[in-house]
Amino acid sequence: MSDSTLPSSNESADGTPHRRRPRYAGRNPRRFDEKYKERDPLRDAETVAKVLASGKTPAGTHRPIMVTEMIAALMPRPGALVVDCTLGYGGHARELLAHLLPDGHLLGLDADPLELPKTEARLREAGFGPEAFTAVRTNFAGLPQALVTVSSLSSARSAANSDSLLMGADCILADLGVSSMQLDDPARGFSTKSDGPLDMRMNPRRGQSAAALLVRSSSESLAELFKTNADEPRARELAAVLAQRSFTTTRELTDAIRAASPETAKDEVDLTVRRVFQALRIAVNDEFSALNALLRSLPTCLNPGGRVAILTFHSGEDRRVKQAFAAGLRDGTYAEIARDVIRPTAEERHDNPRSSSAKLRWARRCS
């Protein structure tokens, strides 16, 4: 029996012809845009669980790293004002919110205008309203101004009580680098594995792309950048090959690096490709300047007794954090700092290989 009011099987409800979802070749999708099941965790929890169990990160998500260690370092309490300088997917933020409510507030910053609205919507959906959580799209180099913004929002909400002005933070977290959403989406240009435009900007609406940087860089400045940002042992040789060349896509760049490494074993070339991408990403996003600015602003942004924790992923970042905390301890800004660097457990490194290079350091401002 057929009902003439229902659309036929190849027609959608509004009468337009139904289009089948394009099939991918093989059993498991390899391309980011084919991983539709992973990107809908509510509908496809089983697929997501399988991806997680295999040590991978489901497409379009990010697994927070060293969550237990981060909470132990920051000790967030109900009523605290906490800043997550690198909101990303909001994994750390959710955990922090669970500790600081009721009466606390989380200020989440991120430079990325594409992912931030999605994360804000996800957290709102999870029940965190404006009284609990504020999202601000900004570079964390602008942390002091962001705190002023949240302070004025708070005083507007409680106009009757000007004593409740939120000026300093009780806890500050920074989980440096890029998120898995950024890394895995070829359209963002960070991926060494999939082809896409050679961009690498966390905020694609600002600054110059990696392609523009390469065209404009001299061989000397590029060699310096490869050395400083990624300890690349073949910095000069690679810079001589890549400087002032026009690459449109990530694949063109990886092919050029491979062509410049004919005698090198594949694993070693893969590492070289990753180091070159890391060096360019750091330069494109001016990551060391932003980190230096954040480290300088911490003493004024933290309340007395307030705590900061920073997760780093390579030596250039960790060195800066280690030196800033040690200097702060010497001059009395900090009362206490992590005695040793804290690393992910072997279990976490196994379950989430992206945590492998993580290092956590913390400091407590003097009271």
Ligand X SMILES: C[S@@+](CC[C@H](N)C(=O)[O-])C[C@H]1O[C@@H](n2cnc3c(N)ncnc32)[C@H](O)[C@@H]1O
**Which stretches of the chain bind ligand X, using CB under 6 A?**
62, 64, 86, 88-92, 109-112, 115, 139-140, 175, 177-179, 202, 290
Residue 251 CA to its chain's centroid (Å): 23
With respect to ligand X, which residue has the nearer C-beta, 64 or 306? 64
Residue 344 is encoded by which pair of tokens? 């992910």
Residue 213 CA to residue 282 CA, distance in Å, equals 12
- Least distance CB 178 / ligand X (angstroms): 6
Residue 260 CA to residue 47 CA, distance in Å, equals 39
With respect to ligand X, which residue has the nearer C-beta, 257 or 284? 284
Q: Classify residue 202 by its DSSP letter.
A: S
- Least distance CB 211 / ligand X (angstroms): 19
Question: Which position has the token pair 């895995």?
Answer: 184
With respect to ligand X, which residue has the nearer C-beta, 239 or 283? 283
Residue 302 is encoded by which pair of tokens? 């933290």
- Least distance CB 202 / ligand X (angstroms): 4
Question: Which position has the token pair 């002032």?
Answer: 244
Residues facing residue 302 across a β-bridge: 169
Spatial contact of 99 and 77, defined as CB atoms under 8 Å apart: yes
CB burial class (10 A; 0-12, 13-18, 19+) of residue 9?
exposed
With respect to ligand X, which residue has the nearer C-beta, 112 or 199? 112
At 82, is the secondary structure helix, strand, or coil? Answer: strand
- Least distance CB 313 / ligand X (angstroms): 8
- Least distance CB 94 / ligand X (angstroms): 8
Nearest residue (beta carbon) to ligand X: 88
With respect to ligand X, which residue has the nearer C-beta, 141 or 302? 141
With respect to ligand X, which residue has the nearer C-beta, 109 or 284? 109
CB burial class (10 A; 0-12, 13-18, 19+) of residue 347?
exposed
- Least distance CB 87 / ligand X (angstroms): 6
